[in-house]
Amino acid sequence: MSTDLRLYCMSGGSLTYDQSIFTFMHGFGIPRDVPTPVYLIDHPKGKVLYETGLNPKLGTDPIGHWSKEEVEERKPRVDPEKTIDKELAALGVSPKDIDYVVLSCLMYDHSGGMQLFPDSTFIVQHQEMQDAWWPDRRFMRSYKDVEFVATRHYNFLELHGDDYDIFGDGSVEVLFCPSHTRGEQAMVVRLPNTGTVMMPAGCIPQRINLEEDIMTGTPRAGPEATYASMERLRRIIRREDAMVLYHHDPEEWKTVKLAPEYYD
């Protein structure tokens, strides 16, 4: 494990969802304003961005980018002064400095900033690319090709249901965990001082999912695969006493160190 490794947490905007989107059969009719985080992992051998958040255009012209109905339903909020490229710039990092971009999935709250990183290598599951680029009618509303259609010529490292140790030293790993989407990916980072940090994304979007064994409200991979993925991540969390950074938990997000602070 590298001793010179940092993890930065940044806001990629926020959205409003019904709570039941995250907790299957629980919380119907309760609107929740949830974060869409972006993580920067600074490793001696390269820089990795996990997620890209909402599209910066939603901060200046939301109805011009999405439809009026979508904006009214999801209420996207992006601070024009804190778009992901500006957050990176505040750390002295430009989009060209990002070697890898890992996406948990290609849904709009994760893929909105993809076009800012044309020089990076994107690590995505092949299944996820199929479902996003050529969706069957069950998934069509889940993906917005306006976010990623212009990225088809980018450099993609396609994984086929496997994990990926990005730097070969076990410190930054992509974990295949089909659940919320069929190509869902979590990330685990092993820091020298903080220890193991798990970022389970849509597989375990909120603390309640982990503590009460509640699967996501949208288990597109199917209940059996979703629970198997949850259990796999739970074993790592327990075995390594990992800190968990929940993607869509507004209360937990209040406790997270935000850039320029970092975990090391």
Does residue 24 form part of some domain? yes
Q: How does residue 48 score in pLDDT terms, banded at 50, 70 and 90? A: very high
Number of domains in the chain: 1
Long-range interactions of 168-172: CB distance < 8 A, separation 24+: 169/1, 169/2, 170/1, 171/1, 171/2, 171/5, 171/43, 172/5, 172/41, 172/43, 172/48
For 190-205, the pLDDT digits (tens) are 999 999 999 999 999 9
- Strand, helix or coil for residue 66: coil
H/E element, 8: strand 6-18
Residue 38, pLDDT score: 98
Asked if residue 203 lies in contact with residue 225, where contact means CB atoms within 8 angstroms, the answer is no
Does residue 1 form part of some domain? no
State the Cα–Cα distance between residues 216 and 119, nearest whole angstrom: 33
Does residue 249 form part of some domain? yes
Does residue 244 form part of some domain? yes
Report the relative pairing of strands 31-43 and 46-50 from DSSP bridges: antiparallel
Does residue 136 form part of some domain? yes
For 55-92, the pLDDT digits (tens) are 999 999 999 999 999 999 999 999 999 999 999 999 99
Does residue 264 form part of some domain? no
The predicted model scores a pTM of 0.95
Token pair belonging to 247: 């993607």
Please give the residue range of the domain that contains residue 244: 6-253
CATH code (residue 165): 3.60.15.10
